[in-house]
Each structure stands twice: as structure tokens, then as C-alpha cells.
Amino acid sequence: MDASSRFFFGLERKNGQKRLIHSMRSDTGQILSESTDIRRHAVGFYSSLFQSELGEEQGVSHGFYKGLPKVEQESSEELEADVSLDELHTALQSMENGKAPGIDGLPVEFYKTMWSVMGEDLLMVLRDTSEYKLLSKVLATRLREVMGQVIHRDQTYCVPDRLVSDNVFLILDFLDISSALGLETGLISIDQEGF
């Protein structure tokens, strides 16, 4: 094993130890220190956290989903396809230097420099595990291609070929038409964020 590999494996071992959860307090106040108990408690906590408390009435969700826009079948198949080597390389090249794309702590520059040697291996690792920043970059690139099919044309932020300034003109048109028709109208601007 050469010196640089030994260095990076040592770095990963050190960083991996920092990320371990050695104990956790249960809902009853008990300290859990066995890995199986910690894992069971964490899974139970997040399962109940994200579980819906609302019962589904017959047909309610069907009626809701029925009216939503859908991506075309071809686009859907492209979104669900395995990540390709080209997609991974494009995502990697578009990432900002000085960042670590995964939990290994290795910077983007390492992957860029070593691409010709380890690109295919990295793709296998990505498929088998989850180098989540690289994977999310690939998926975001895929989604960007179909966003216009499912996001209403009045929503302009982050949708390719749409400008936020288009909404300014939409508002001006709304105000002009309301004024011309003698309508008393108002606008509400809501900035919603997920999580």
C-alpha cells in the first residue's frame, strides 16, 4: 500500500470514529449503549416521526393525485435509469472545489484528479452505497430536465428557461386588468420552504 493510500485510509478511520454514536437516551431516560439498541431506537423514533397520523378516506388521495401534472413516460424512465458514468462525471465536474461529496471526507479535487483511475469504481460504489452529494447532484440534473413538465408555468424560480422577472410582469398585468375592469383586488405573496 503506498503512502497516500495509507494516509487516506487513516484519515477515513479517524473521521469515521468521530461520526459514531456511542450512546443515546431513550424516551424513558434510559441510556442505550449497545449498537443494536441504538439502531432500534433511532429507527423507531424516525418511523413514528414520519408516520402519518391521518387516516386516508376512500378516494380522497385518488382525487387529489388525479389532477396533478405528470412527467411523460419517456422522462419517467430516464429519471429511474441507473446512473451512468457520463452523468457521474458531469456531476463531479460541476461540483465546487473544496467540498467533500460524501462522508469519507475526501475533497472533490481528489475525485476529479483521480477520475481516470477510479471513475468506474466510484460508479460501482455509488450504486452500492450512497455518496449522497454526488448522487443528489446527478438526480438534480435529471430532474432539472423535466421540471417544466410538472411545475406550473407561473412558478419560475429554478426552472430552466424561466425568469423570476416574468412574475413581475404577471403581477403588473393582473393589476392593470383589475384596474381596467374596476375590480377591487389584492395580492398575497407567500414564500414557502420545505423543511
pLDDT, tens digit, 9 for 90 and up, residues 6-16:
776 676 677 66
Is residue 67 included in any domain, yes or no? no
CA distance 12 to 103: 9
Q: Are residues 100 and 137 in the same domain?
A: yes
Domain extent at residue 162: 152-181
pTM of the model: 0.42
Q: Are residues 121 and 84 in the same domain?
A: yes
Q: What angle do CA 127, 87, 81 make, to 5 degrees?
A: 55
Closest residue by Cα to residue 96 from 108, 106, 110, 85: 108
pLDDT at 52 over 70: no
Q: Are residues 30 and 98 in the same domain?
A: no
Is residue 140 included in any domain, yes or no? yes
CA distance 52 to 86: 39
Cβ atoms < 10 Å from Cβ of 24 = 15
Q: Are residues 78 and 129 in the same domain?
A: yes
Is residue 14 included in any domain, yes or no? no
Is residue 5 included in any domain, yes or no? no
Is residue 57 included in any domain, yes or no? no
Confidence band, pLDDT 50/70/90 cuts, at residue 148: confident
Is residue 107 included in any domain, yes or no? yes
Q: Are residues 166 and 101 in the same domain?
A: no
Which of 48, 65, 90 is a domain's end point? Answer: 48
* Count of structural domains within the chain: 3
Residue 100 pLDDT: 67
Confidence band, pLDDT 50/70/90 cuts, at residue 180: very high
Q: Are residues 108 and 146 in the same domain?
A: yes
Is residue 191 included in any domain, yes or no? no
